[in-house]
Chain A
Amino acid sequence: MNRLRILFQLSLADFRERTRRYSFLVTMIGVMFFGYLVITGQYTIGFGEYKSVYNSAWAGSLMAVCSSIMMAIIGFYLVRGSIKRDRLTEVGQIIATTKMSGRVYIASKLVSNIAALWLMVVSLAILAFITLLVRNESGEISLWAFVSPFLIVSLPAVIFVSSVAVLFDTVRWLRGSAGNIIYLFLAESCVVLGMLTVPFLDLASIAVFTDSARAAARATFPGETIGLLAGFVAFDPEMQFEVFKTFSWTGIDWTTGMLLLRLHWIAMAFAVTGMAVLLFDRFDPARAKHKGRRVNVKKVKETASGEVRETAPAGTGPGYDSLCPPEPRFRLIRMVGAEVRLALRGFHWFWYAVAVGLIAAQYAAPFDTARLYLVPAAMIWPLVIWSSMGTRESRFGTVQLLFSSPSPVMRQFPAIWLSGLLVAVASVSIMVVRASIEGLWAYAAALMVAAFLVPTVSLAMGTLSGSKKLFEVTYLMIWYIGSIDRLTPLDLLGTTDESVTATKLVVLGLTAVGSLVVAFITRYRQLNYC
């Protein structure tokens, strides 16, 4: 009982902490916007010209499945970081000294994650229900038909995603940007494979929902081919229809096997949480740090009095007045060099090897291979470098040291931007040259615009939000949907000729310029009001 009370109090405190932040409000606005896209049919799962009667089952199931897809892909990013926050604020070390077990702590984070995501799902459900009241085409409302998809589809998805977020926060090498990238690939694979062939990977029950609805459509229109369309209809004219053939669908007929497949996600969530408990280091810095970061014990010396000292005794060395005087001379290139060095420090050797490999391979690989795969890879690999821009000072607490330096907005801030720009240019420069040689000027221009856009938007987002998360999640989504799934309007890297248009390049270029202005204005304001 006592443990349950502690679990409740901890979860409640964590839930309050995250929901009272401004970013949560922004997140909720984003979630409601997603709901708006679903109820207006701009993001949907449908059957082309075939459409179900808008009834309780359809309204509930469509929103439940769409919200589960959103939870599977974006929900993780919305709730992760809670253990990391305890680590950074050093609240964790206080918690570690209490009697509370690691199990209870991890469970509290799981419960808090579930509560936050479930709040979003409930908000979407309310939105869908209000829409149903207005647009109901069946004449009656069945509460169970509306609510059950949220309980059977969305709740297990929320629980599972919450547990994965806890695990990724617990494992040291998954805590940062690497974890963000890995999760996106896992989630996308899970959603796509689950939808197509592997029922036990169908986290959002897309296949169950579409099979059931399609069967109803076939019963109404026997012999007709009924396809499946899913995603952002707004971006694809082929997915937009003026006249629909309607069929009646009363909801998924849940079999025991189907329900067991939903329950397996809850079981998986327990397993994942169990792994997190096992891997949780209880905020022990000794376990959290690299081998190389440990204090060199050889440097610790003992004095004659028995007092342990870390270095030589006081009173030795030259006086202050004998020091070499500093020569004042600011050079932007030196500041940029310092920012580049700072940005590139702290990675495993493997990271550098892959970064160099991706650039070098652009020279050696066939042009199309480089365009389709190597350039996108090279433009996601330095994600953490870009997302750190504009946030590093606040994350590491060096704001006061830098803001009290001469002209921080006109000296250090441009250097941060240029360092990110240099990394982006290095990532695509070989392909820019190759495209120019091949005469593919539009593609070369697209790459240059992308190299300008990505670090600039990152700097703006980082400076505005003070967190890496906003840029990482936004860019990851756009990069994946645009350049990997090849949704033309979102393809910033021009992986196909169709995705490169003069209008788009102008829009992206102007976006970059606007972002740069926003970034500078924001930093200037921070300087005056911190």
Chain B
Amino acid sequence: MTDHHERSVLLILRTDYLGKCYKGNIWGLNNFSLDIDSGILGLLGPNGAGKSTLMRILATVTKPTEGKASWKGHDIVHSPESVRRVLGYLPQDFGIYPNLSATEFLSYLAAARGISGKSARRRIGQLLDLVNLGDARKRRLGSLSGGMKQRVGIAQALLNDPELLIVDEPTAGLDPEERIRFRNLLSELSVNRIVILSSHIVSDLEAAATSIAVMSAGHLLVHATPEELLRSVVGKVWELVIASSDLANLKQTHIVGSTTRTIVGLRVRVVGEKAPTASARQVTPTLEDAYLWLLNGHQREQQDE
């Protein structure tokens, strides 16, 4: 009991049997328990897996129906202020005030977050440079593109130099170069902080996450390092070339991953215990293969139940 208590204080962010029930008895999150230490936690899962619900609860925007969440041992469900002061949050869908410029919008949020005027002014300019919006700082937000607005969102999440950064689908709307830039920024941030990052783009997490939580239908399927996930599918990933017309049949019997069109046919990755055909060759697994393997395994279990 004493050991358990000491560990909970040392651990930075902890969830115990978190659950969120929406109207119609639909559980967006169910029995979710996880200990999160510094680094980048990638949340991976299909649409409706509960990633955003979990993030909203941790960001103190939504109250869970059951369970606990704590930050450095403080209950954030009943005392959300303990985490709000050190929290940076980028929701999946967020709005802006279209008549304000990026600088004005960030100044407004800095005031709401209790950052002194002088330091806010300096930091806002630097943050806008960091997210590559230095030239657009005076433009009205209503005139910015979706990707630029998303970068304003990233800047606002960093206003208070957060210890806990929660970013929900942050790369949506960013071009490939900005995505790389953002991933590098997250890696830099993760040294002394907790970063929780959700995405259904596996490559985003592959590059940045130090641990990954795979979720499905509100449940946590697995929490592991990328290496552990990769190890779980070693010897289970195959590559073969088939005719395009055979793809539908193959999908009915096997877990099919990425496909690439070549001059000799369709090159297909398949995840499974056995080789799908005699000509299939074993290949080095990727995180996407591990994700598909886990997800399909869970779905099969649910069907069996």
Residues of A within 8 A of B (CB): 289, 292-296, 299, 309-321, 323-331, 334-335, 337-338, 341-342, 345-346, 392, 396-408, 411-412, 528-530
Nearest-CB residue, chain B, relative to A528: B63
For B120, the chain A residues whose CB sits under 8 A away are: 326
Nearest-CB residue, chain A, relative to B115: A326
Q: B99 on the interface (CB 8 Å rule)? A: yes
Question: Interface range on chain B: under 10, 10 to 19, 20 to 34, or 35 or more?
Answer: 35 or more
For B188, the chain A residues whose CB sits under 8 A away are: 319-321
B84 contacts A406, C-beta separation under 8 Å: yes
For A289, the chain B residues whose CB sits under 8 A away are: 142-143
Decide: A309 near B175, CB < 8 A? Known: A317-B132, A338-B112: yes
For B148, the chain A residues whose CB sits under 8 A away are: 310-311
Decide: A398 near B94, CB < 8 A? Known: A320-B185, A328-B85: yes
Nearest-CB residue, chain B, relative to A410: B81
Complex CA distance for A294 and B145, rounded to whole angstroms: 10
For B297, the chain A residues whose CB sits under 8 A away are: none
B62 contacts A530, C-beta separation under 8 Å: yes
Complex CA distance for A338 and B117, rounded to whole angstroms: 11
Cβ of A206 to closest chain B Cβ, rounded Å: 43
B56 contacts A400, C-beta separation under 8 Å: yes
B115 contacts A405, C-beta separation under 8 Å: no
Nearest-CB residue, chain A, relative to B142: A293
Q: B108 on the interface (CB 8 Å rule)? A: yes
Cβ of B77 to closest chain A Cβ, rounded Å: 10
Can you add 4 more A-B contacts, CB < 8 Å, to A313-B177, A314-B132, A400-B91?
Answer: A327-B115, A337-B111, A338-B111, A398-B95
A328 contacts B160, C-beta separation under 8 Å: yes
Cβ of B83 to closest chain A Cβ, rounded Å: 9
Complex CA distance for A342 and B110, rounded to whole angstroms: 13
Other-chain residue from B56, B99, B156, B161 in contact with A326 (beta carbon distance below 8 A): B161
Complex CA distance for A522 and B247, rounded to whole angstroms: 56
Decide: A325 near B119, CB < 8 A? Known: A311-B136, A406-B114: yes
A-B contact pairs, 6 of them (CB 8 A): A317-B130, A324-B122, A326-B123, A331-B116, A397-B93, A405-B114
Complex CA distance for A181 and B181, rounded to whole angstroms: 49
Complex CA distance for A398 and B114, rounded to whole angstroms: 17
Decide: A404 near B87, CB < 8 A? Known: A311-B132, A320-B185, A326-B160: yes
B130 contacts A323, C-beta separation under 8 Å: yes
For B129, the chain A residues whose CB sits under 8 A away are: 317-318
A405 contacts B118, C-beta separation under 8 Å: no
For B185, the chain A residues whose CB sits under 8 A away are: 320
Q: B127 on the interface (CB 8 Å rule)? A: yes
Cβ of A334 to closest chain B Cβ, rounded Å: 5
A412 contacts B112, C-beta separation under 8 Å: yes
B130 contacts A320, C-beta separation under 8 Å: yes
Encode B282-298 as 1/0 by CB contact (under 8 A) with A: 00000000000000000
Complex CA distance for A404 and B175, rounded to whole angstroms: 28
Complex CA distance for A402 and B159, rounded to whole angstroms: 13
For B99, the chain A residues whose CB sits under 8 A away are: 345-346
Other-chain residue from A316, A346, A397 in contact with B94 (beta carbon distance below 8 A): A397
A342 contacts B94, C-beta separation under 8 Å: no
Q: B158 on the interface (CB 8 Å rule)? A: yes
Interface positions, chain B 37-72, Cβ under 8 Å from A, are: 56, 59-63
Nearest-CB residue, chain B, relative to A295: B143
Decide: A315 near B181, CB < 8 A? Known: A310-B147, A310-B148: yes
Encode B124-164 as 1/0 by CB contact (under 8 A) with A: 00110110111110011011110110000000101111000
For A309, the chain B residues whose CB sits under 8 A away are: 175, 177
B161 contacts A325, C-beta separation under 8 Å: yes
For B132, the chain A residues whose CB sits under 8 A away are: 311-312, 314, 316-317
Nearest-CB residue, chain A, relative to B85: A406
Complex CA distance for A189 and B182, rounded to whole angstroms: 59
B117 contacts A398, C-beta separation under 8 Å: no
B61 contacts A404, C-beta separation under 8 Å: yes
Cβ of A123 to closest chain B Cβ, rounded Å: 29
B143 contacts A334, C-beta separation under 8 Å: no
B108 contacts A328, C-beta separation under 8 Å: no
B112 contacts A411, C-beta separation under 8 Å: yes
For B145, the chain A residues whose CB sits under 8 A away are: 295, 310
Decide: A328 near B112, CB < 8 A? Known: A295-B143, A317-B130: no
Complex CA distance for A402 and B91, rounded to whole angstroms: 11
